[in-house]
């Protein structure tokens, strides 16, 4: 309790007249804070409560802050307009929270309610001196109305949340301790309900404070008001005391966490080192002592705030494909692990020491290598927690420093290093699929079709490449391919943690682009689309225009250079690839190319479920009973459609394998194949008519 507040309370003693700005009537009862309780006066008790709760709260917050600031530097002091806008929408507007209409609405009622009722503390700790002596009379009614509305919203929200947790317990909470959450909700319930009793003694306005006025009609006794006041203050003190000891620390840490969120492209990883110009330092000039993250302090300060910002809402857990398939990864637990590690090793960390336990040991290698980097966990988090970089940073250390990574990756990484593709085929075979298509190879062109490793060497996906080139040529575009000069975009290497290999590939490809004057690139692989379009910018490719093939095809259809897909007898659904939809932001174009879908899957668009191939999982083994693609295949099969349209070579492979595993006969086709199929069918129809005539 500050000296100023004590002074205000002391000056307020002796007022027997009711200090309410609503009316000026006398009230024989003094404010509970001005009463004497045995040897102690009311403000003495409040001073004790406040000193304990505020003191403990302050100590714990500064301890957490010190543990956060141990982290490595992180430049998050840019893009102020974007940060302010996103903070307003994300923190104040709770836009991500409200995606869950049920739990989100309850949380928002409590959140907005507390924002409105918080100023009531000025009255509660000054025996109403704030409203009667400081607040302008004209504002008193509206202020009281705002405060009561806040209490009402918070009461409704916490009551609904308690009923949901106790009576209609969500599946994800069953079998888990609910003591912490229920205790906090009971404290909020106490704070809100007692406020109306205290308010009833202040001659509340029937217009501005209808609930308080309603309670006053029952003739609440002075003793009841006193008990309610102190129950209110004890509940607030207990709440303040428990905040830093529970998940409700997010009430403090959420503010910097949301404000300093990553404003860069979704899913974009950072280079090994960055120069003063903001670009990646070339490999020839690179001079760093360690790779990735092994110790707690190697995470950046912004990554560490995440640990204290988590609300344990389990949205990330529910969205994670690895968790859904039974693997040892729970993104929520990863965030808890970072915070728990810091708290358990706080004495060593704060003294500048380094605990023997590494972050890989705490989070576990099973969790680290199970991630598909689909970004679903990051996308659904209401507090902008960044789960994936914590795992990929650990992969970097395992891949490039400790050499403790899944041995099966040696094959793919070795092939990429020697042949610039994970399949191990020679570069001279890259353009074999296009031998009869009369397409430019290794020559300047307005558009370069970056074929990607899958469409270059996988027989099934070569059909996609042929359809794509055929469509672009049909529309009259000046298009070419790189042939032997094309190398892997580096996505598998980067997601597996081999950042050095990725940068080598990026620098080589960019030299090729520069030599041929490449400005516009079309990619049918969303991983290449993302990597070339967003991640190559750090290495000098910031002027490249990179399009997913569905974007170009949809544009050509709009311009009349390609036909719209008409009814072709197919009943279709569409599987949104993670790196095209949620990460790439491309949702409408692939659907437009195929003329729309007949049935959407339960999880589609931004909420689409991963096929299981991302994060270099395409090149790792997966237990037969823990396959992500089988989960997705079942959902696709439930649509009852006969065709699954895709826009990714890896999704094509994984979805087909999954459908086979569940015994579904659905056909998997790329959007380019579906469009080209219609053009070929029409050409054949015209030829048949000509022959008949």
Instruction: Tell me the CATH number at 330.
Output: 1.10.1060
Q: Which domain holds residue 432?
A: 415-557
Question: Which of 236, 240, 18, 210 minimizes the C-alpha distance to 125?
Answer: 236
Instruction: Tell me the CATH number at 608.
Output: 3.40.50
Residue 56 half-sphere exposure toward CB, CA atoms < 13 A: 15
Domain boundary pick from 528, 557, 586: 557
Instruction: Look at the alpha carbons of 534, 535, 540, 546 in this order and tell me if their dihedral is positive or negative.
Output: negative
pLDDT given at position 171: 77
Report if residue 672 sits inside a domain.
yes
pLDDT given at position 406: 95
Answer yes or no: do 527 and 438 share one domain.
yes
Tokens at 474, concatenated: 């049909």
Residue 31, classed as helix, strand or coil, is coil
Answer yes or no: do 342 and 420 share one domain.
no
Rounded CA gap, 176 and 12, in Å? 48
pLDDT given at position 693: 64
Answer yes or no: do 89 and 216 share one domain.
yes
pTM: 0.90
pLDDT given at position 148: 96
Answer yes or no: do 421 and 488 share one domain.
yes
Rounded CA gap, 256 and 387, in Å? 17
Instruction: Tell me the CATH number at 241.
Output: 1.20.950
Stretch (H or E) spanning 329:
none
Stretch (H or E) spanning 552:
helix 549-558
pLDDT in tens, 154-197: 999 999 999 998 888 887 777 677 888 899 999 999 999 999 99
Question: Which of 63, 512, 380 minimizes the C-alpha distance to 252?
Answer: 63
Tokens at 502, concatenated: 């990725």
Rounded CA gap, 413 and 406, in Å? 11
Question: Which of 232, 84, 208 minimizes the C-alpha distance to 154?
Answer: 232
The answer to whether 421 and 415 have CB atoms below 8 angstroms apart is yes
Answer yes or no: do 540 and 628 share one domain.
no
The answer to whether 272 and 286 have CB atoms below 8 angstroms apart is yes
Report if residue 690 sits inside a domain.
no
The answer to whether 575 and 601 have CB atoms below 8 angstroms apart is yes
The answer to whether 453 and 487 have CB atoms below 8 angstroms apart is no
Answer yes or no: do 236 and 314 share one domain.
no
Rounded CA gap, 61 and 305, in Å? 12
Domain boundary pick from 350, 372, 402: 402
The answer to whether 440 and 452 have CB atoms below 8 angstroms apart is no
Report if residue 691 sits inside a domain.
no
Report if residue 38 sits inside a domain.
yes
Answer yes or no: do 505 and 647 share one domain.
no
Kindly report each contact of residues 537-543 with a partner whose C-beta sits within 8 Å and lies 24 or more positions away, as own/partner.
538/270, 538/271, 538/274, 538/279, 538/280, 539/271, 539/279, 539/280, 539/503, 539/506, 539/507, 539/510, 540/279, 540/510, 541/506, 541/510, 541/513, 543/519
Report if residue 530 sits inside a domain.
yes
pLDDT given at position 14: 38
Answer yes or no: do 107 and 156 share one domain.
yes
Neighbours of 414 (CB within 10 A): 12
Provide the number of structural domains found in the chain: 4
Rounded CA gap, 600 and 574, in Å? 7
Enumerate residue ranges in the chain where pLDDT < 50.
1-28
Answer yes or no: do 135 and 232 share one domain.
yes
Answer yes or no: do 46 and 182 share one domain.
yes
Report if residue 687 sits inside a domain.
no
Report if residue 106 sits inside a domain.
yes
Answer yes or no: do 190 and 46 share one domain.
yes
pLDDT given at position 49: 95
Domain boundary pick from 197, 216, 250: 250
Q: Between vectors from CA 265 to CA 472 and to CA 530, what angle results, nearest 5°? A: 35
Report if residue 145 sits inside a domain.
yes
Q: What is the dihedral of CA 89, 93, 97, 101, to 10 degrees?
A: -130
Answer yes or no: do 21 and 147 share one domain.
yes
The answer to whether 149 and 31 have CB atoms below 8 angstroms apart is no
Rounded CA gap, 441 and 138, in Å? 78
pLDDT given at position 488: 97
pLDDT given at position 26: 41
Q: In terms of C-beta density within 10 A (0-12 exposed, 13-18 middle, 19 or more buried), how is residue 255 classed?
A: middle
Question: Which of 502, 540, 543 minimizes the C-alpha distance to 521?
Answer: 543
Tokens at 46, concatenated: 């409040």
């Amino acid at each position: 309790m500050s000296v100023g507040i004590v002074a205000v309370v002391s000056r307020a003693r002796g007022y027997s007249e009711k200090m309410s700005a609503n009316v000026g009537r006398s009230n024989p009862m003094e404010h509970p804070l001005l009463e004497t309780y045995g040897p102690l006066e009311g403000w003495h008790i409040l001073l004790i409560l406040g000193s304990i709760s505020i003191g403990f709260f302050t100590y714990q917050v500064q301890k957490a802050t010190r543990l956060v600031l141990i982290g490595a530097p992180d430049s998050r002091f840019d893009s102020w307009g974007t940060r302010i806008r996103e903070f307003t929408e994300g923190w104040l507007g709770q836009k991500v929270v409200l995606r869950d209409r049920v739990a989100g609405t309850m949380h928002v009622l409590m959140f907005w309610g507390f924002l409105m009722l918080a100023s009531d503390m000025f009255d509660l700790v000054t025996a109403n001196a704030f409203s009667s002596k400081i607040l302008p009379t004209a504002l008193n009614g509206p202020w009281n109305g705002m405060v009561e509305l806040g209490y009402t919203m918070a009461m409704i929200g916490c009551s609904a949340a308690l009923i949901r947790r106790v009576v209609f317990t969500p599946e994800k909470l069953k079998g888990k301790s609910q003591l912490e959450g229920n205790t906090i909700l009971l404290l909020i319930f106490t704070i809100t309900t007692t406020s109306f009793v205290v308010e009833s003694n202040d001659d509340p306005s029937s217009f501005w404070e209808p609930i308080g006025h309603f309670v006053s009609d029952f003739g609440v006794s002075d003793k009841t008001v006193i008990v309610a006041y102190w129950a209110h203050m004890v509940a607030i003190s207990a709440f303040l005391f428990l905040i830093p000891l529970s998940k409700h620390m997010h009430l403090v840490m959420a503010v910097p966490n949301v404000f300093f969120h990553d404003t860069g492209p979704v899913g974009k990883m950072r280079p090994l080192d960055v120069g003063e110009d903001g670009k990646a330092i070339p490999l020839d000039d690179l001079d760093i002592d360690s790779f990735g993250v092994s110790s707690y302090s190697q995470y950046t300060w912004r990554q560490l705030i995440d640990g204290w910002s988590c609300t344990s809402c389990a949205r990330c857990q529910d969205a994670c494909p690895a968790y859904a398939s039974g693997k040892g990864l729970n993104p929520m637990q990863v965030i808890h692990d970072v915070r728990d590690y810091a708290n358990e090793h706080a004495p060593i960390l704060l003294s500048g020491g380094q605990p023997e336990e590494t972050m890989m040991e705490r989070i576990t290698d099973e969790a680290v290598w199970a991630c598909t980097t689909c970004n679903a966990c990051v996308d659904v988090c209401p507090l902008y927690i960044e789960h994936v970089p914590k795992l990929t940073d650990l992969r970097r250390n395992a891949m490039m420093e400790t050499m403790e990574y899944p041995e099966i990756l040696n094959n793919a990484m070795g092939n990429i290093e020697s042949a610039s593709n994970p399949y191990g085929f020679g570069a001279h075979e890259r353009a074999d699929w296009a031998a009869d298509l009369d397409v430019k190879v290794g020559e300047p062109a307005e558009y370069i079709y970056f074929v990607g490793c899958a469409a270059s060497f996988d027989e099934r996906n070569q059909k996609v490449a042929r359809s794509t080139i055929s469509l672009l040529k049909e529309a009259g575009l000046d298009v070419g391919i790189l042939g032997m000069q094309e190398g892997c975009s580096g996505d598998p290497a980067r997601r597996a943690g081999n950042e050095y290999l990725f940068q080598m590939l990026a620098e080589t490809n960019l030299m090729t682009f520069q030599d041929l004057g490449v400005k516009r690139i079309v990619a049918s692989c969303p991983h290449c689309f993302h990597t070339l379009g967003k991640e190559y910018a750090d290495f000098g490719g910031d002027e490249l225009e990179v399009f997913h093939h569905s974007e170009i095809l949809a544009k050509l259809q709009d311009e009349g250079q390609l036909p719209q897909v008409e009814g072709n007898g197919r009943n279709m659904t569409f599987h949104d690839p993670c790196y095209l939809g949620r990460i790439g932001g491309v949702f409408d174009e692939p659907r437009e190319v195929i003329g729309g879908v007949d049935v959407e899957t339960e999880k589609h668009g931004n909420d689409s479920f991963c096929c299981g191939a991302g994060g270099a999982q395409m090149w790792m083994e997966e237990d037969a009973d823990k396959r992500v693609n089988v989960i997705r295949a079942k959902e696709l099969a439930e649509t009852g459609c006969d065709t699954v349209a895709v826009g990714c070579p890896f999704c094509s492979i994984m979805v087909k394998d999954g459908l086979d595993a569940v015994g579904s006969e659905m056909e998997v086709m790329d959007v380019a194949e579906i469009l080209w199929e219609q053009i070929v069918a029409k050409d054949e129809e015209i030829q048949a008519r000509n022959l008949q005539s």
